Structure 1
């Protein structure tokens, strides 16, 4: 994969604060020790890591027509010139950290709720030429989600190799959601999900059982990658099975860990088709990212 990677999905503003415990009473004010204002969203997190890793990519997304939207575009320079500018406020996600490392998020609708297929298509090449199109965050982009089947069909017709990172569906893994994702997976050369998502998709109690049910959904020769957080990652491609443990690190911030894994994974595939090396690179990049502040990827 030496051609540019097309990254299609959600970029929004993150305001991360905390840690805070217990949850405050209404009407009170709480002073927290830390806050950080940064680019967020699955596509935003992946793109920042790809930049740091020196991977050529195109970011297909949108922003709001306001001060925050202009701020969101700044780190991406020329890559943001083709973004759709929605005549609404930019989506903001406020994450409140807890002492155990978990976070509670409050997210506005904003520009992501108006980002649809009509915005994506002008940012794509008419001929994919074998480039990977990595689809991320479909369940937080409702307008695009409504046309996801058509988007995948168009990408396939144009010659893109499709990769998918579903994220967690709003409303959970209903039978309808499972059926939709299963249909998408049948067109994907790479499916990258975390262990909780895998068990939700397959409706199983273990990652191994989930993998056994998901793998037959994929085309022949496609890769299934399951990200297992502090336990590393597992992957399958044909008869090949890979298990890469994560190094022990002091976790500072887990937001976007799976997204940075994807960046490391595809950075490796840009150099070699070695699945084990790609998974190892993903684990290494994600482990470094969650254990550093300011965040580092290499």
Structure 2
């Protein structure tokens, strides 16, 4: 049996229809024209898996789709050598992303197969981690009720299989209510690496400054626990072992930012799995994300 790759990705994949760009929302009942559209595979975990393929990084992506034509299209869009699919008897989730001028975006998502996903199906398919650095990324759980309820169980199962865990919780559709805050803090306590953007970090901690947010998130945790805060055009910072590391982002012309943070996750974890240090890993993540948001068709490296 071949050893598992050093990167494991678990979470959501869905069909993304990206339209843009617009300058403010149109009046209800009217129609406007946009310059471009793109139908592409997406989802937070899916975007990371695509980036790993684009970066030529060996990995395994475990996810689900529906059994409709969109599901078949979605499965075919990912590398067959790097994907393990669960096919549920339901429609496949579709997300429409509207890109605004400046690269910001809004999403509209149908429940579809993400409502059917079961954490038990993921746990049953987990491989043992290979020797050496090995990282499992869990993302997109807020859009998957089964994964949301079972994330703690999944993190425990990953640790039992020898994986270092990283979690990107994303943004909860219901907002940051108190039960959601408690749940996320539980996940962040369990995971070895927390991957947040600066808006999420501020929402969880109440601290607008990334350094202050990181201090609040690391308080009382083991020194090895790592917090990463993605800051868009300002780059990204990581906090571990009482130290702060930062990588600046290059200046690029932004086409769209869909999946930028997910691409960062891929480049960052791939570098750690290769044994690169934290500063190098931040740079790898920022560079990959900057390349992705500034190219169409999307590219992840030169």
- TM value normalised by structure 2: 0.92
* Structure 1: runs of 5+ lacking an equivalent: none
> Match of 1:128?
129
Mapped contact 2:102–2:254 kept (Cα < 8 A): no
Which of 128, 137, 142 does residue 140 from structure 2 map onto? 137
Residue 230 of structure 2 is aligned to residue 266 of structure 1: no
| Aligned mates of 2:69, 2:268 — CA distance in 1 | 33
Listed as ranges, the matches of 1:220-231 within 5 Å are 220-231=223-234
Q: Does 1:165 align with 2:168?
A: yes
User: Is this contact kept in 1: 2:9–2:137, CA < 8 A?
Assistant: yes
Structure 1 position 191, deviation (Å): 1.1
Structure 1 counterpart SS, 2:22: coil
* Conservation of the 8 A alpha-carbon contact between 1:164 and 1:190: yes
1:174-204 residue CA offsets vs partner (Å, 9 max, x unmatched): 2222222222222222111100111111122
Distance of aligned partners of 1:215 and 1:104 in 2 relative to their CA distance in 1, 3 Å threshold: same
Query: Which residue of 2 is the match for residue 24 of structure 1?
Result: 26
Check conservation: 2:6, 2:130, Cα contact below 8 A. Answer: no
The equivalences for 1:36-185 within 5 A come to 36-79=38-81, 82-125=84-127, 127-129=128-130, 131-185=134-188
Which runs of no fewer than 5 residues in structure 2 stay unpaired? none
Distance 2:16 2:286 in 1: 23
Q: Counterpart of 1:151 in 2: which secondary structure?
A: helix
Describe the superposition over 1:228-285 as per-residue Cα deviations: whole angstroms up to 9, x where unpaired. Answer: 0000111111033211111111111111100011111012112224000000111111
Q: Per-residue deviation at 1:112?
A: 0.7
CA root-mean-square deviation: 1.8
| TM-score (ref. length: structure 1) | 0.93
Cα displacement (A) at 1:156:
2.0
Contact 1:9 1:42 in 2 (8 A): yes
SS at match of 2:78: helix
Looking at structure 1, the residues matched to 191 and 244 of structure 2 have their Cα atoms a distance apart, in angstroms, of 18
Taking structure 1 as reference, are residues 97 and 273 closer, same or farther at Cα in structure 2, changes over 3 Å only?
closer
Structure 2 distance, partners of 1:268, 1:201, is 27
Please say if residues 133 and 161 of structure 1, whose CA atoms lie closer than 8 Å, have aligned partners that are also in contact: yes
**Residues in 2 aligned to 1:42 and 1:167: alpha-carbon distance in whole angstroms:** 8
